Structure formats: C-alpha cells, structure tokens
Structure 1
Amino acid sequence: MKNYALKLGVPENAIVLDYAGRRTYDTCYRAKKIFGVKSAILITQEFHLSRALYLCDTLGVESIGVKADQRVYLKRLRFFWNTRESLATLTAFIDLYITHPLPVLGEYEPIFSDTLE
C-alpha cells in the first residue's frame, strides 16, 4: 500500500506505517494513543469502510473515508467478504462495548508537529 501511495505522488513523509496494527481496532486505538492522531482519512475497500470509520470515530479519531476498490468482486467473493465483514463488525462491537482489548502499545510518539495539528 505504501508503494502504491508513493506512485500516486503522496510524499513519503506523509505516510505512517503502523507495524503493530494487527486489526482495525488496534490501528484506530494506536492512532489516537500512540501517534496522537486527532483526525484521519481512511482509505480501504468499500466493504470494510463503514466498520473502519465507526471504530476510529468511536475510539476518538475523527475520520472520513475513501473507498479504494480496484476491481469488481465476483458474486461468490462478495458473499464471502460480506459474511466476513458481518462477523468482524460483531467483533468490533464486542471490542468497543464489552471486552475493551488492549492492543500492542509503546511509547507515545506523535507523528505530527504542533504546527501541523
């Protein structure tokens, strides 16, 4: 994804990789708590976008979304992804309102200078 963004002209210093973001919940949590992100543009597949926006917004990262689908999914693949996303959405609600799992943490390392906030 980084290489794709670079090819599109996104400056390398505007790209931040989260190597400990194993799930969307972890990434949104870490964006706020580790990287100091207050708002974000989420770029992901359409089937995943609603859940990603909900998770980030609920965890305190004001977000807008952009779908990044580059292909048309066959019917059977759409069924698979929709089923998977339904289960992942259920897991997200459980994470947010019941279990509150703690992602991999680390030192606070804001990615933006005060002048950019």
Structure 2
Amino acid sequence: MTDDVGSSSDGARPRRRRLRWVLGLVVALAVAPMLGAAVHVGVGSWGGAYDVEGVPERAVGMVLGAKAGPNGPSDFLAARLEVARRLYRQGKISAILVSGDGRERPSSETAAMRDYLVERGIPDEHIVEDPAGFDTYDSCVRAHEVYGVRELILVTQDYHLGRALTICRAAGMDAVGVGDTSMFGRYPLNWIKGWLREWPANVKMEWDLLTARPPQSDPFDGALLEAVGDR
C-alpha cells in the first residue's frame, strides 16, 4: 500500500511541473506582446507630451472622441474639449478637428463635441468634424489622408496620449500633444480602467500599423485647411 501511494505521488510531480511550464508559457505569450508594444509607444511618443502653456504652436488641434450621450459629452470628453478650448484661446491652434463616431446612436460624438465648443465661444467655422474616427488609428490616419493635416496638437487623456502620438507620427504627421489629467482626481477607478485598457490597445495598434489597415475611405476634404486659413 505504501509503495502504491509513493508511485502515485511521484507521478503527480512531473505533471504539476509540466502544468507550471505550460501556464508560464501561456502567460509569457500573452505578456510579451504587450510589453513590446508598450516600449514602442514609449519610443514613438518620446518628447511629444506637453502642458497647455508649454506646447509648441500648431495650426490644428485634434480632439479624440469618447463617450457622448443625449445630454452632451461625458465628463472625460468634456475635459478633453476644455483643453482644446484653452489651446485655441491662447493662440496655440487655429482650428479644431473633432474626431469620433459620428453615427447617430442615439447621439453623435462629433456633433456633441462641436456643440460643446460652440456654446463656449469657439467659432463654428473653426471647428471641423470627422465622423468616421471610429478609433484612434482611424482618427490619426484620416486626419492626414482625408483632411490634409501635416502637423497637429493631439488632445486626449494623459494615459491615452502616448499611443495616439505614436500612431499619428507613424501616419506621417508632426504630432505633439496635451493630455488631460483632471479626471484622475474625480474618477480614479475609471482612470485606472482606462490605463489598463491601453495595454491590449497597444497590441491592436501594432497590428493596425503592421497591416496598414485602411480606415473608412473618403474623398479629400479641404474644410480644415479653410478653417485654418480663416483665422
């Protein structure tokens, strides 16, 4: 009886070791791409983050979309728009591109963004909507290809800024950015969730850049260049 127990125990040890190796391999395969993408974001966005006062002037500021509802932008999106409003008032930018999901569901992100800015004194003719900025990659590529942007100031939350800068620079633009940090104090849990989402989102970025995924294709739109020239 003792020998049978010993044999069973001896056989279980190699199985546990194999299981640990398999689990370790699975974790490594999951973590390695995220670490590699995070390094890419750090290098790709290097030197691009500023505050409102220190950011160099650019003709265009692009506000990346976020959740909006029937009553207007979410608090996170409103914070981004406030940064853009300050940039415009300080003469850092001449026009604002609001990029997001413009489909009615029940409210358009870009329409809500435009309304918010106009209600707070930004001239309507200096705001242009990109209603097909369905994600960060789409917004950056379309800013360059559809709206003719060559340089810009990106506006989003701080934890999102590195990835956005990396994509916009890869798309061929001279991009710098200002990241909002005000929401961390108000919604720390939501902020942490947003920061955590960046890790898998960075991996998606790598795939999009590697495959040169085309966003929605539209004819060239000169409205933004006209808005810049009007100021």
Q: Is the 8 A contact 2:155 2:179 kept in 1?
A: yes
CA apart distance, 1:70: 3.5
Change (3 A) 1:40 1:69: same
Q: Is the 8 A contact 1:56 1:63 kept in 2?
A: yes
The letter for the 2-side match of 1:106 is D
Instruction: Report the counterpart of residue 141 of structure 2 in structure 1.
Output: 29
Identical positions, percent: 34
Of 207, 214, 218, the residue aligned with 1:94 is 207
Of 167, 183, 193, the residue aligned with 1:80 is 193
**3-state SS of paired residue (2:206):** helix
Query: Which deviates more from structure 2 when the two are superposed, residues 45-54 or residues 5-14?
Result: 5-14
TM-score, normalised by the number of residues in structure 2: 0.45
Change (3 A) 1:29 1:94: same
Structure with the larger helix share: 2
CA apart distance, 1:69: 3.7
Which has the bigger relative contact order, CA under 8 A and spacing at least 6? 1
Structure with the larger strand share: 2
Instruction: Report the counterpart of residue 40 of structure 1 in structure 2.
Output: 152
CA apart distance, 1:27: 0.7
CA apart distance, 1:22: 0.2
Q: After TM superposition, where is structure 1 displaced by more than 4 Å over at least 4 residues in a row? A: none
Superposed CA deviations along residues 30-72 of structure 1, whole A, max 9, x for unmatched, are: 1111111111111111111111111111101211211234422
Query: What pairs with 1:31-70 in structure 2 (closer than 5 Å)?
Result: 31-70=143-182
In the comparison of the two structures, how many residue pairs are matched?
113
CA apart distance, 1:80: 1.7
The letter for the 1-side match of 2:194 is W
Q: Is the 8 A contact 1:31 1:61 kept in 2?
A: no
Q: Is the 8 A contact 1:34 1:109 kept in 2?
A: yes
- Structure 2 unaligned residues grouped into runs of 5+: 1-112
Greater C-alpha radius of gyration: 2
Query: Which deviates more from structure 2 when the two are superposed, residues 85-94 or residues 62-71?
Result: 62-71
Instruction: Report the counterpart of residue 40 of structure 2 in structure 1.
Output: none
Change (3 A) 1:51 1:70: same
Q: Is the 8 A contact 2:160 2:195 kept in 1?
A: no
CA apart distance, 1:7: 4.2
